[in-house]
Amino acid sequence: MSKNKKDEAVEAEEMKQAAEQEPQAEEKTEKDEKDERIEALEAEVAAGKEKYMRLAAEYDNYRKRTANEKLSLYDDATAKAVTELLPVADSVRMALCNLKDADPEILKGVELISNQLDKSFEKLKIESYGKAGDDFDPNLHNAIGMVDSDEVDSGKVAAVFQTGYKIGDKIIRHAMVQVAT
């Protein structure tokens, strides 16, 4: 009987240990499940944040691109309108050059018109370029001839036949020049 009691005691002890281990196993699995859920939620939040950041960057790029397109449309429209006015500006400048011996009142009137044109171009951000002595740049100047000159160094603009105009980096009209050799 003592063997039975010993066996029963051993069995009871084993059952007791097994019973104690079961709640610990359940606790571990619940804890593991919570950790896994937390990790899954953290991954979901990180993915959402990444998606939001990408969307914000795309929107910022879109906003900048459309702003640049609007600006370039404005510059193109301005350039097209100014192209129609350039012959008038050329005529006024020619008149100023040829009216040196004219009545001072007429000269003054033509100078006022020329100044108004210059101010209008300035408001539209139109710049004129092409003066004698400037470095010749084939991107800006249209060379219609070459001349030997003692007054200007080689590779420089010797004479300007038609002033060039640009808006920002966009050329409206190239300057027609004569280049010194």
Question: Which domain does 176 fall in, by range?
Answer: 128-181
Has residue 116 been placed in a domain? no
- Give phi and psi for 80, each to the nearest 5: -65, -40
Q: What is the mean pLDDT of residues 58-78?
A: 92
Residue-wise pLDDT for 70-113, tens only, equals 988 988 899 999 999 999 999 999 999 898 888 989 999 999 99
Reported as a pLDDT band with limits 50, 70 and 90, residue 175 is very high
Residue 176 lies in a domain: yes
Mean pLDDT of 52-65: 96
Q: Which residue has the higher pLDDT, 112 or 30?
A: 112
Q: Which residues, in sequence order, are CB contacts of 86 under 8 Å at separation 6+?
A: 165, 172, 173
Average pLDDT (126-135) is 93
pLDDT of residue 33 exceeding 60, the answer is yes
Distance CA 60, CA 82 (A): 33
179 belongs to a structural domain: yes
List helix spans (H) across 1-153.
Answer: 2-98, 104-123
Report the CATH number at residue 153: 2.30.22.10
- The average pLDDT across 2-19 equals 68
Whether residue 173 is contained in a domain is answered as yes
Give a yes or no: residue 166 inside a domain: yes
In this prediction, residue 3 has a pLDDT band, given cuts at 50, 70 and 90, of: low
Q: Residue 163's closest CA among 72, 96, 100?
A: 96
Residue 179's H or E segment, with its range, is strand 175-180
Comparing CA positions, the residue from 95, 94, 120 lying closest to residue 109 is 95
Q: Provide the domain count of the chain.
A: 1
Q: Would residue 66 count as lying in a domain?
A: no
- Give the contacts of 142 (CB within 8 A, at least 6 positions apart): 174, 175, 176, 177
Gap between the Cα atoms of 143 and 145, Å rounded: 6
What is the pTM (predicted TM-score) of this model?
Answer: 0.62
Does residue 56 surpass a pLDDT of 90?
yes
Q: What is the mean pLDDT of residues 4-12?
A: 70
The predicted structure's pLDDT at residue 8:
73
Q: Residue 76 contacts by C-beta under 8 Å, 6 or more apart in sequence?
A: 170
pLDDT at 14: 74
* Res 13: pLDDT: 73
| Mean confidence (pLDDT) of the chain | 88
Other Cβ atoms closer than 10 A to 45: 10
Domain contains 71: no
